[in-house]
Amino acid sequence: MKTLIIEDDQDIIDSISLAFRLYWPETEVIYANLGAAGIEMVRTEAPETVVLDLGLPDITGFEVLKQIRLFSSVPVIILTVRSQEEDVVRALEGEATDYLTKPFRQKELIARIQAHSTQWMTNEIRKSVKNMENPVS
């Protein structure tokens, strides 16, 4: 299991990384401090989940989400200080998988990531099996 954190605050990265070490230690945690780098890492590193902040220094998290959705269905969990309803709705309409606000509870974050990644991986396996049963000619 690999999780990508796209976040510019090192304290938040450290907190999420600690949560993984404590509650899901077999997960590899990688991170990007910029949105553009995070998009590229989704392409090259193929994480099973992404934790995305909306307030990034180069491009907005909304734009990062939009770019990721052009090529990937990976679960993207928004983790941000923004709690306004319009931000939550905009993220979910942009196909974010989940939305949490900071400060966050570590165990809850890990539980949500586990649930979403398990569901996503199950769906990916089903798609692969279906494609093997019905290959495109």
H helices present in 51-105, as ranges: 61-69, 85-93
Quick: pLDDT tens for 94-129: 999 999 999 999 999 999 999 988 887 877 777 777
Burial class (CB in 10 A: 0-12, 13-18, 19+), 36: middle
Q: What is the pTM of this model?
A: 0.87
- Domain spans of the chain, in order of start: 2-133
Q: How far is CA 91 from CA 23, 41, 59, 100, 115, in A?
A: 27, 20, 15, 11, 19
pLDDT of 132 above 80: no
- The pLDDT value recorded for residue 136 is 62
CB neighbours of 111 closer than 8 A, spacing ≥ 6? none
- The pLDDT value recorded for residue 130 is 73
Superfamily of domain 2-133: Response regulator (3.40.50.2300)
